[in-house]
């Protein structure tokens, strides 16, 4: 049986000059029945050529922020480091995948990119904009309002409420999901045609999707780090691979 080819965007360590991709992404695709295809970023014209090799696409997360100018704002001091070349390349990939109705999954910053590509906006920093630091790789000691302590990246640290009858709800078959958390930005305004499909207890957007497409889902957490412990997290990857199987490339 052929495995659908799933493209995974890579990061570049500009000091060492090495491309990087956490193994958990490739392992999640393999566990879901797909074949991971690492995609090193290049100029925007290469995006279409890369996409032609794949039947599905994952925009991975990373320790950088989308330039606020991309959503019509001036950069403020709390905004984190940027990788303009990676953002431009992933923007082109994402735009082409959405236009071509290629199944796409956005992870953490990848979800934020999907939203901005569709004309949405972000909080540049949850701490500065909302006084909320609860999503920065921490977990509550007792409950959501409690003092927060560091959490391993492969351990869930808070729940999200899943909107019924959404793609996410159909995949995880639950109205609540425990997730990890490692972000200081979040969706502020949903883009055109973007449906919010999960929120954290404090109202922060945790998942979004594009109902007009066969499979276009973004999640703010990292399901690739949880799918070995939680079959519902693996179901997200299986949904992507299943949708990719319907694409002839």
Q: Which residues are catalytic?
A: 108, 222, 224
According to DSSP, residue 216 is labeled E
The tokens for 143 are 């409950």
The tokens for 210 are 């594009």
The tokens for 74 are 């001036």
**Cα–Cα distance, 56 to 39 (Å, whole number):** 12
Helices (H), the chain: 23-31, 46-52, 84-99, 109-117, 126-130, 167-172, 231-244
Neighbouring residues of 178: CB distance < 8 A, sequence distance ≥ 6: 156, 158, 159, 230
| Residue 32 backbone dihedrals phi, psi, to 5 degrees | -85, -5
Note whether 107 and 154 are within 8 A (CB).
no
**Cα–Cα distance, 64 to 83 (Å, whole number):** 6
Note whether 27 and 33 are within 8 A (CB).
no
Neighbouring residues of 65: CB distance < 8 A, sequence distance ≥ 6: 79, 80, 81, 82, 109, 124, 185
């Amino acid at each position: 049986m052929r495995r659908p080819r799933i493209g995974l965007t890579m990061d570049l360590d500009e000091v060492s000059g090495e491309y990087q991709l956490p193994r958990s992404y490739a392992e999640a695709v393999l566990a879901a029945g797909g074949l991971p295809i690492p995609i090193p970023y290049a100029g925007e014209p290469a995006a279409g050529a890369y996409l032609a090799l794949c039947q599905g696409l994952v925009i991975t997360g990373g320790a950088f922020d989308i330039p606020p100018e991309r959503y019509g704002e001036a950069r403020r001091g709390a905004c984190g480091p940027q990788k303009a070349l990676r953002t431009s390349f992933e923007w082109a990939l994402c735009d082409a995948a959405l236009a071509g109705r290629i199944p796409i999954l956005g992870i953490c910053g990848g979800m934020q990119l999907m939203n901005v590509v569709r004309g949405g906006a972000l909080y540049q920093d949850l701490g500065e904009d909302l006084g909320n630091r609860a999503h920065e790789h921490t977990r509550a000691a007792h409950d959501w309002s409690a003092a927060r302590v560091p959490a391993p990246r492969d351990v869930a640290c808070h729940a999200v409420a899943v909107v019924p009858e959404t793609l996410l709800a159909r995949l995880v078959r639950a109205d609540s999901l425990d997730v990890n958390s490692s972000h200081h930005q979040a969706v502020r305004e949903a883009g055109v045609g973007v449906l919010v499909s999960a929120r954290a207890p404090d109202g922060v957007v945790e998942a979004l999707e594009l109902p007009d497409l066969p499979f276009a889902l973004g999640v703010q957490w990292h399901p690739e780090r949880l799918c070995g412990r939680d079959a519902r997290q693996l179901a997200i990857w299986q949904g992507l691979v299943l949708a990719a199987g319907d694409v002839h490339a």
